[in-house]
């Protein structure tokens, strides 16, 4: 039996795919109109597109639940109770570093990618394995990227921003990222995430995953081989 979800819901939802992105069985694409905003033409001067490297790990968060900081997995359950070792390692890592998260107000959570275990991309990490890509509140309301960057500065790692401003094509993004990106990947990186911000709110997100990407290539439950752990120098 699963424990209760401290938030009463999932910690993080799904992001729709851009045209040409590799999709899994249950994945969904964004609309052609949304894709045009990301890649070609804004609606007007109010659209701002932030593009960041997409990292390949497991989605986790640290949430302030009524004044208590709780590490969670994507589904919203406490990470400490997960069946997966990588989640329990995340919980231990977070509990040892709770002061890093004391900027979170009750009802807020820092969501990101935990890169300790290799999924489909191996890393020789040049930073801690938790990379924050969202601060969320009021269920699934996202903070603007400028706020995320300001509040995590000097505390937590964030994905490398490779573009901010008008729409940016997939071809240009892949050129800016290169083969291995900026976070120590030793396999070709997964892709990128587009954040569309408008009039002070995050309107929607979209992602592009390389068509040749193989999900979970290094996960024991899929590969039948021992787990592959990414190198990092603990801080």
Residue 231 lies in a domain: no
**What does the H/E/C string look like for the chain?**
CCCCCCCCCCCCCCCEECCCCCCCCCCCECCHHHHHHHHCCCCCCCEEEEEEEECCCEEEEEEEECCEEEEEECCCCEHHHCCCHHHHHHHHHHHCCHHHHCCCCCCEEEEEEECCECCCCCEECCCCCEEEEEEEECCCEECCHHHHHHHHCCCCECCCEEEEECCCCHHHHHHHHCCCCCCCECCCCCEEEEEEEECCEEEEEEEEECCCCCCCCCCHHHHCCCCCECECCCC
Instruction: Give the model's pLDDT for residue 234.
Output: 65
Consecutive 10-residue runs of the chain (235 residues): their mean pLDDT?
85 96 90 98 98 98 97 98 97 98 98 98 95 94 98 98 98 98 97 98 98 94 94 71
Residue 11 lies in a domain: no
Instruction: Give the model's pLDDT for residue 139.
Output: 83
Residue 107 lies in a domain: yes
Residue 6 lies in a domain: no
Instruction: Give the model's pLDDT for residue 3.
Output: 78
Residue 53 lies in a domain: yes
Which residue segment(s) compose the domain that 57 sits in?
16-223
Instruction: Give the model's pLDDT for residue 235.
Output: 60
Residue 106 lies in a domain: yes
Q: Tell me how many domains the chain contains.
A: 1
Count CB atoms within 10 A of the CB of residue 94.
23
Contacts of 21 by beta carbon, 8 Å cutoff, 6+ apart: 29, 191, 207, 208, 209, 211
Residue 144 lies in a domain: yes
Instruction: Give the model's pLDDT for residue 222.
Output: 87
List the Cα angle 13/15/21 in 5-degree steps: 150
What does the alpha-carbon distance between residue 91 and residue 79 come to, in Å, rounded to a whole number? 6
Instruction: Give the model's pLDDT for residue 106.
Output: 97
Residue 234 lies in a domain: no
Do 77 and 5 meet the contact criterion of CB atoms below 8 Å apart? yes
Instruction: Give the model's pLDDT for residue 2.
Output: 62
Q: Which CATH number belongs to the domain containing residue 40 in this structure?
A: 3.30.470.30
């Amino acid at each position: 039996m699963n424990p209760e979800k401290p938030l009463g819901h999932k910690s993080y939802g799904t992001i729709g795919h851009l045209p040409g992105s590799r999709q899994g069985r249950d994945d969904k694409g964004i609309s052609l109109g949304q894709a045009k905003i990301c890649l070609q033409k804004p609606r007007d001067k109010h659209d701002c597109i932030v593009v960041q490297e997409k990292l390949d790990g497991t989605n986790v968060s640290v949430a302030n639940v009524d004044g208590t900081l709780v590490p969670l997995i994507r589904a919203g359950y406490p990470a400490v109770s997960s069946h997966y070792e990588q989640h329990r390692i995340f919980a231990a890592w977070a509990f040892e570093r709770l002061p890093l998260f004391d900027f979170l107000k009750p009802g807020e959570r820092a969501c990101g990618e935990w890169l300790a275990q290799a999924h489909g991309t191996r890393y020789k990490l040049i930073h801690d394995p938790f990379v924050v890509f969202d601060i969320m509140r009021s269920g699934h309301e996202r903070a603007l990227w400028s706020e995320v960057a300001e509040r995590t500065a000097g505390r937590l790692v964030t994905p490398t921003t490779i573009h901010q401003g008008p729409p940016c094509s997939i071809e240009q993004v892949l050129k800016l990222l290169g083969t291995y990106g900026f976070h120590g990947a030793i396999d070709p990186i997964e892709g990128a995430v587009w954040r569309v911000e408008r009039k002070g709110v995050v309107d929607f997100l979209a992602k592009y995953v390389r068509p040749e990407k193989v999900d979970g290539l290094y996960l024991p439950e899929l590969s039948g081989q021992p787990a592959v752990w990414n190198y990092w120098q603990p801080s």
